[in-house]
Amino acid sequence: MAWKKLGAADIPVGQGREFVVDGIVIAVFHLDDAWLAVDGMCAHQGGPLAQGHVDNHCVTCPWHGWQYDLRTGQNLLTGKKMLNTFPIEQRDGELWIDVPV
């Protein structure tokens, strides 16, 4: 794993944004109490999770409604981990993410 700078931490609270880091599509979310990052493509058919509705640490895929816990990557219906999660931090107004190398 290696820490990479994503850029300014300017995503509004309650919203997500998609990034591509070293070829990995990642969805970053700014919640009331945390920044969270998971795989950006839904495990169902690749829907853009960064565009999904976020509520209480969970995101709903905008394409067909699969839901995931952003803290664990688990699908809420099955309980199975279906998304990778990535450590993310805000440092001096910038977002940094730890991705596989």
The residues that touch ligand FES, with contacts defined as CB under 6 A, are: 42, 44-47, 61, 63-66
C-alpha Rg value of the chain to the nearest Å: 13
Considering the complex, what minimum distance in angstroms separates the CB of residue 62 from ligand FES? 7
Considering the complex, what minimum distance in angstroms separates the CB of residue 4 from ligand FES? 26
**Tokens, residue 23:** 């070829």
**Tokens, residue 68:** 């995931």
Q: Which is nearer to ligand FES, 40 or 47 (CB)?
A: 47
Q: Which is nearer to ligand FES, 44 or 71 (CB)?
A: 44
Contact 73, 81 (CB under 8 A): yes
Strand duo 67-69 + 58-60: pairing: antiparallel
**The length of the chain, given as a count of residues:** 101
**Tokens, residue 34:** 């945390």
Q: Which is nearer to ligand FES, 75 or 85 (CB)?
A: 75
Considering the complex, what minimum distance in angstroms separates the CB of residue 90 from ligand FES? 28
Q: Which is nearer to ligand FES, 6 or 74 (CB)?
A: 74
